[in-house]
Each structure stands twice: as C-alpha cells, then as structure tokens.
C-alpha cells in the first residue's frame, strides 16, 4: 500500500525544472561558476533589421536587474559583473564576453563550437564546447537551457 502511494505521488509530481547551465567555463585561467541563464534579444547596432540573440549566464540571479534595463546595451554591457554572455550563431559559431571580479579586464573570444538542440524564439537549449590547444587555453564545455527574459524592439 505504501509503495503504491509513493508511485502515485511520483506519477503526478511536477517534473524537475531543468538546470539552466551545467558544465565548466575557464577563461583567462579563471573558472566561472554559472547557475542561471536567460535569453535577451535585441536589434543589431550595425545591420538594420537584424535581431541578435544573447544568452546571459551568471552565478547569481540577476533577472530582476536585467528586466529593468531600458536597452539591449544595458542588458549586455552594463548589468553583468560576474558571468558569461554567449551570442550563438546558426552556423555553429559563437561570440563570448566574460567578466569576473578576479580578472583585470573583460575577456572576449569567438570561435565555432555551438550546437543548438532547441532553437525557438522563447527557448534555447544547446551545448557550447570549445577546448583549443596551447598554454592555459580557455575551456568552454557548457550545456545550456535558457528561456527568454526580455526582447527589445528595434528603434523607431
């Protein structure tokens, strides 16, 4: 009887929420602790009509601060102080901007190594895997499950 009750509860329990970020990111010798991920969409500053997608990943929940941003510049350049911003491309390329209090300056890099398994306007799931050779190379091996937090309209 007890076992039947446990099975019944398990059958109707909410599935566990996906963990937004799993894996490791080491950039400029600094390990990043990433727990949260959000999608921010906004207009491209160089190509009129193009919308960019950014995945903001952080150790702490900064969703309230991101939500208050009046512009994509605020969300991508001003709010994040400890984390990684990923701009995935459809062809597997990516751009990363990393900030950490222990780094003297922000780090930016771009390469190929992004694979999306879900790519919808409000939900992106994928893997970022890049481990180049060399002395003290960056390591990006992340599984990401991000939901849309904010989308900025093109100006005008």
- The residues near 29 (Cβ < 8 Å, ≥ 6 apart) are 136
Residue 33's pLDDT is 94
For residues 21-30, b (16+ Cβ closer than 10 Å) or e, as one string?
A: beeebbbeee
Question: pLDDT means per 10 residues in the chain (156 residues)?
Answer: 42 54 94 96 86 95 96 92 95 95 94 96 96 83 96 82
pTM of the model: 0.85
CA–CA distance, 52 with 41 (Å, rounded to integer): 6
Let me know: does 75 contact 56? Beta carbons within 8 Å: yes
Tokens of 136: 């003290």
Residue 17's pLDDT is 53
Tokens of 15: 């599935």
């Amino acid at each position: 009887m007890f076992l039947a009750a446990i099975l019944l509860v398990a059958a109707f329990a909410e599935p566990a929420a996906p963990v937004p970020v799993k894996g490791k990111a080491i950039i400029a010798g600094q390990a990043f602790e990433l727990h949260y991920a959000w999608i921010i969409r906004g207009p491209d500053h160089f190509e009129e009509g193009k919308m960019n997608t950014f995945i903001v990943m952080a150790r702490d929940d900064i969703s309230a601060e991101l939500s208050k941003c009046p512009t994509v510049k605020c969300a991508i350049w001003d709010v994040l102080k400890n984390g990684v911003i990923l701009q995935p491309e459809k062809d597997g390329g990516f751009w990363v901007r990393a900030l950490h209090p222990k780094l003297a300056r922000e780090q930016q890099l771009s390469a190929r190594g992004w694979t999306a398994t879900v790519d919808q306007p409000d939900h992106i799931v994928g893997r970022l895997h890049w481990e180049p050779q060399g002395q003290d190379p960056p390591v990006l091996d992340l599984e990401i499950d991000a939901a849309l937090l904010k989308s900025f309209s093109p100006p005008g």
